[in-house]
Amino acid sequence: MSGKKRRLTIIECGCDINMMIDLAKAADLGAKLFYLSGMVHGEYQNHEIHNLGRFITVVKFRPLTWQTSHPYVLADRMEDLTNPEDIRTSMKCDWQVLLYGYLRGAHLKSKNQIHMAAILLL
């Protein structure tokens, strides 16, 4: 929580420039970069988290024009519904993927093609 009416989701990003660019498209604070020095015993350092929280509480959120004019989905969970036998016989078969998350920006119309970035299928 960052205030009485503002909830936050913090997404940790790896050291991959493509991943950073994809996350910046969906981030409300994509103009700022926070570097955390790393985890100590499985936890981030308290003073770094304190500084990050202090910045978030005072910053003014300004929506980017790209975000308000384009629909985008921030998925936090994915389920593969494709028949494993179809995948075994042909990797180029039509896959059925179920995404759970948030739709942001403009309305997403049915039959629109979408670009799925940073997906890792195991």
pLDDT tens, position by position, 37-66: 888 898 888 898 888 888 877 777 776 777
Say if residue 41 is in the same domain as residue 83.
no
Q: How many CB atoms lie within 10 A of CB 24?
A: 15
**Domain that residue 73 falls in:** 69-122
The half-sphere exposure of 34 on its side-chain side, counting CA atoms within 13 A, is 20
Quote the DSSP letter at residue 107: P
92 and 57 together in one domain:
no
pTM of the model: 0.48
Token code pair at residue 78: 């994915």
pLDDT tens track for 27-43: 776 756 677 888 889 88
- Cα–Cα distance for residue pair 122/108, rounded to 1 Å: 27
One domain, residues 84 and 38: no
